[in-house]
């Protein structure tokens, strides 16, 4: 390979990392920066020519990358969760998808003059949102929990459902091209669906069985997941062309819904391989964007974006929330927030490549329109959502809840006491037994690592404004403090001293980043855990003018004040730089 090609490939990977890093810093969806980088590298500056670089390998490379993206997204679709997050979420991912599909298809057909097939395919593609674009918006805006949780779960569940719709419509379009008569079209489509569905279901069951029985060692699980996905994809394509993407989507859904198979065991590759592939893929796809095709639909594209934002979005939210407890302001906010993301871009690019290869009319305009919708919705909503939330009155006041990292007996006891005092609490831990105990006490609990990339899009931080890192593993506490200092602010990140925090300096994270240490380090994590083991309990008392802190301490000479809550529901912990001085009306 020549030095120029090496430079381009390495530059794409480095640019992908840089775009995702900047997105993380400014809390905006990474796809926005990736597409802009691709537009600069391709049409604007002419540095990257994807077709010349990869030639005939471009479609297979894009297909494999999209297969991995769809598999990762389908792992989030658990049928138990469709009804477990309320009727509104269920309606949004069923009725709402139908409304968006029809509205977007009609817009493309009447505004741009596209035929019914391509319009229907475009409509199906833009039904997909995704947590990678929605969650950054929610964390920036912090809407009320009633709407924030609905939007989060809709984005998670709609990814695979919308992708399946897009795949089915695409296969119908391909079948319509290759067949003569409606009967032959239906027969071709049925064969594709059966081939993809059966191959994916069988592959998913076998790999899930291997995970359940621990046939794959821990260090090979992520690699094994990638290998299994590619094997199923290739097998389905060999059985029936165009069925591979459906197969890997079905495979992920089967694994996600198998009992005693933890999805977290196989999603780790997303944090390394898939991140790199996504970064490179979208820079490449944007680099090959046809500016002339984009300009030819310029005014029409703007019209379609506005119709989706102003009419389709609110209509989908209003119809999906009929009979719910949401007021009209919350429903309008639901309708406003629906940015398009990674899955829409990926499948549109692949579908366009395959349709162009088959000589389908206007296929070269599909990607420009989808990319325009992605950029338009992300930019519009990133700039306006905070203002819209404030005007509609759905912004959450200062978040007061607590994220507790650690599921030991102390963490659960503190979490229960804080929850009983009226604040939102989420306990995060990687031990299932700890999560089970927390949930049995009525606490919200998240099974997984709070510092993983998976947590970035799955962990619901709505209503949370503080971190209490009290895991037995000091390294996890340090990482959590570093990670959530950006989220909550350094003044709202707390931890307990531990023997491990007294390690030699070369083994420590910078002290400025560890977090504010409770009790100035005089009381350590192990001390309180010993007290809990001996039967110590947390009790909450509200102070008054007649019964102040002095009276409380005299009545309870051995008590340790672990936290206090002021009349504004703000929680305070005893730290050296802010001594606790509870007044009347405070709960201690």
- What's the pLDDT tens digit per position in 212-254? 888 888 778 888 888 999 999 999 989 987 788 889 989 988 9
Residues 84 and 163 in one domain: yes
Rounded CA-CA distance 470/264 in Å is: 22
Helix residue spans in 449-587 (DSSP H): 453-458, 474-488, 511-514, 525-533, 549-555
d(CA 89, CA 95): 10
Judged by average pLDDT, the poorest of 69-83, 294-308, 407-421, 456-470 is 69-83
**Domain assignment of residue 249, yes or no:** no
**Residue range 298-303: average pLDDT?**
90
Number of structural domains found in the chain: 2
What is the extent of the structural domain holding 490?
401-538
Task: Please give the distance of CA 392 from its chain centroid, rounded to a whole number.
Answer: 25
pLDDT digits (tens, 9 = 90+) for 350-375: 888 888 877 788 888 888 999 899 88
State whether residue 447 is helix, strand or coil. strand
The distance between the two most distant Cα atoms of the chain, rounded to a whole number of Å, is: 90
Please count the helices (runs of H) and the strands (runs of E) in the chain. 27, 8
Cα–Cα dist 385/486, whole Å = 20
Inform me whether the pLDDT recorded for 517 exceeds 90: no
H helices of 213-312, where?
221-239, 244-256, 273-287, 291-296, 298-307
Domain-embedded: residue 572:
no
Distance CA 560, CA 553 (A): 9
**Per mean pLDDT, which of 101-110, 146-155, 266-275 is the most reliable?**
101-110
Cβ pair 125, 107 in contact under 8 A: no
How far are the Cα atoms of 139, 231, 465, 521, 570 from residue 395, in angstroms, in the given order?
11, 46, 14, 37, 17
Nearest to 374 by CA among 73, 132, 107: 132
Return the pLDDT at 503: 46
- Which pLDDT value is given to residue 509? 45
The whole-number pLDDT of residue 500 equals: 47
Residues 523 and 480 in one domain: yes
Residues 486 and 371 in one domain: no
Q: Which pLDDT score, from 0 to 100, does residue 521 have?
A: 65
The answer to whether residues 469 and 354 belong to one domain is no
Instruction: Residue 468: give its domain's CATH number.
Output: 3.40.50.720
Residue 352 lies in a domain: yes
The answer to whether position 434 is within a domain reads yes
User: Do 270 and 226 touch, CB atoms closer than 8 A?
Assistant: no
Say yes or no: 319 and 408 in one domain: no
End-to-end Cα spacing for the chain? 68
Answer yes or no: is pLDDT of 105 > 90: yes
Q: Which residues of 453-462 are buried (b: 16+ CB within 10 A; e: fewer)?
A: ebbbbbbbbb
pLDDT value for 118: 92
In a domain, 227, yes or no: no
Question: Which runs of consecutive H residues, i.e. helices, occur in 399-555?
Answer: 409-420, 432-440, 453-458, 474-488, 511-514, 525-533, 549-555
Task: Please give the average per-residue pLDDT across 394-417, as a whole number.
Answer: 86
Question: Which has more pLDDT, 396 or 371?
Answer: 371
User: What local confidence, expressed as pLDDT, does residue 70 receive?
Assistant: 82
Nearest alpha-carbon partner for 250 in 213, 202, 288: 202
Top pLDDT among 271 and 550 is at: 550
pTM of the full predicted structure? 0.76
The answer to whether residues 144 and 395 touch, using CB atoms and an 8 Å cutoff, is yes
Q: Give the pLDDT band (50/70/90) at residue 506.
A: very low
Same domain, 168 and 125: yes
Backbone angles phi and psi of 565, in degrees to 5: -120, 125
pLDDT of residue 180: 60
Rounded CA separation 278/77 (Å): 21
35 closest CA partner among 238, 272, 280 = 280
pLDDT tens for 125-166 read 999 887 778 877 887 788 887 788 788 888 877 877 888 888
Statement to judge: residues 301 and 160 lie in one domain: yes
Residues 363 and 419 in one domain: no
**150-159, 173-182, 238-247, 390-399: the lowest-pLDDT one:** 173-182
Distance CA(444)–CA(449), nearest Å, equals: 15
- 346 found inside a domain: yes
Pairing status of strand 425-429 against strand 401-405: parallel
CATH number of the domain within which 72 lies:
1.20.1530.20
Note whether 279 and 385 are same-domain residues. yes
Asked if 346 contacts 364 with a C-beta cutoff of 8 angstroms, the reply is no
Q: At 404, phi and psi to the nearest 5? A: -105, 115
pLDDT of residue 78 exceeding 70, the answer is yes
Shared domain for 171 and 304, answered yes or no, is: yes
* Higher per-residue pLDDT: 578 or 374: 374
Judged by average pLDDT, the poorest of 5-9, 336-340, 577-581 is 577-581
**Distance between CA atoms of residues 272 and 562, nearest Å:** 39
Q: How far apart are CA 95 and CA 120, in angstroms?
A: 16
Report the distance separating Cα 83 and Cα 342, nearest Å: 25
Q: Is residue 159 part of a domain?
A: yes
- Do residues 474 and 526 both lie within one domain? yes
Q: Check residue 405 and give its pLDDT.
A: 92
In this predicted structure, the answer to whether residue 60 has a pLDDT above a threshold of 90 is no
Q: 368 in helix, strand or coil?
A: helix
Identify the bridge partners of residue 565 per DSSP, sorted by sequence position: 571, 587
- SS3 for 263? helix
Is residue 259 in a domain? no
Q: Taking the alpha carbons of 426, 431, 432, 437 in that order, is the dihedral positive or negative?
A: negative
pLDDT at 101: 95
DSSP helix/strand/coil, 201? helix
């Amino acid at each position: 390979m020549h030095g120029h090609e090496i430079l381009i490939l390495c530059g794409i990977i480095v640019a992908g990392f840089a775009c995702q890093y900047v997105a993380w810093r400014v809390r905006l969806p990474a796809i926005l920066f990736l597409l802009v980088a691709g537009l600069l590298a391709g049409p604007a500056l002419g540095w990257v020519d994807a077709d010349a670089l990869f030639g005939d390998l471009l479609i297979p490379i894009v297909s494999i990358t999209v297969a991995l993206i769809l598999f990762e997204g389908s792992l989030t679709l658990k049928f138990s969760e469709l009804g477990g997050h309320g009727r509104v979420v269920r309606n949004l991912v069923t009725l709402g998808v139908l409304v968006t599909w029809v509205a977007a298809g009609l817009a493309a057909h009447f505004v741009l003059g596209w035929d019914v097939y391509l319009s229907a395919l475009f409509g199906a593609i833009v039904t997909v949102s995704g947590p990678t674009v929605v969650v950054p918006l929610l964390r920036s805006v912090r809407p009320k929990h009633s709407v924030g949780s609905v939007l989060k779960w809709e984005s998670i569940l709609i990814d695979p459902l919308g992708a399946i719709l897009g795949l089915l419509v695409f296969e119908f379009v391909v079948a319509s091209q290759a067949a003569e008569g409606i009967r032959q079209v239906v027969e071709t489509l049925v064969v594709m669906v059966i081939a993809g569905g059966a191959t994916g279901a069988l592959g998913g069951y076998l790999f899930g069985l291997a995970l359940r029985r621990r046939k794959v060692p821990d260090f090979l699980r992520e690699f094994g997941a990638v290998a299994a996905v590619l094997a199923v994809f290739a097998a389905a394509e060999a059985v029936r062309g165009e069925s591979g993407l459906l197969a890997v989507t079905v495979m992920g859904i089967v694994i996600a819904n198998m009992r005693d198979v933890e999805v977290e065991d196989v999603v780790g590759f997303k944090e390394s391989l898939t991140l790199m592939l996504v970064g490179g893929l979208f820079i490449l796809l944007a680099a090959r964007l046809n500016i002339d095709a984009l300009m030819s639909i310029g005014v029409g594209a703007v019209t379609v974006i506005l119709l989706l934002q102003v009419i389709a979005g609110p209509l989908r939210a209003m119809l999906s929330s009929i009979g719910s407890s949401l007021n009209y302001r919350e429903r309008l906010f639901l309708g406003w927030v629906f940015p398009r993301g990674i899955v829409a871009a990926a499948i549109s690019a692949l579908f366009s490549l395959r349709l162009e290869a088959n000589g389908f009319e206007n296929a070269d305009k599909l990607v420009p329109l989808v990319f325009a919708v992605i950029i338009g919705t992300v930019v519009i909503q990133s700039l306006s959502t905070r203002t819209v939330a404030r005007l509609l009155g759905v912004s959450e006041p200062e978040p007061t809840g607590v994220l507790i990292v650690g599921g030991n007996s102390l963490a659960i006891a503190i979490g229960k006491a804080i929850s009983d005092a009226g604040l939102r609490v989420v306990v995060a831990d990687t031990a299932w037994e700890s999560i089970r105990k927390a949930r049995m006490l009525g606490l919200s609990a998240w099974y997984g690592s709070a510092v993983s990339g998976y947590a970035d899009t799955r962990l619901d931080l709505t209503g949370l404004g503080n971190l209490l890192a009290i895991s037995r593993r000091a390294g996890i506490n340090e990482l959590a403090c570093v990670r959530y200092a950006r989220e909550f602010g350094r003044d709202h990140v707390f931890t307990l001293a531990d023997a491990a925090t007294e390690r030699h300096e070369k083994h420590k994270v910078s002290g400025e980043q560890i977090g504010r240490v409770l009790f100035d380090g005089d009381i350590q994590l192990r001390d309180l855990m010993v007290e809990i083991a001996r039967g110590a309990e947390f009790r909450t008392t509200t102070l008054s003018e007649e019964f102040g802190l002095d009276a409380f301490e005299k009545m309870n000479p051995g008590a340790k004040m672990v936290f206090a809550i002021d009349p504004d529901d703000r929680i305070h912990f005893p730290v050296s730089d802010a001594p606790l001085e509870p007044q009347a009306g405070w709960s201690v």
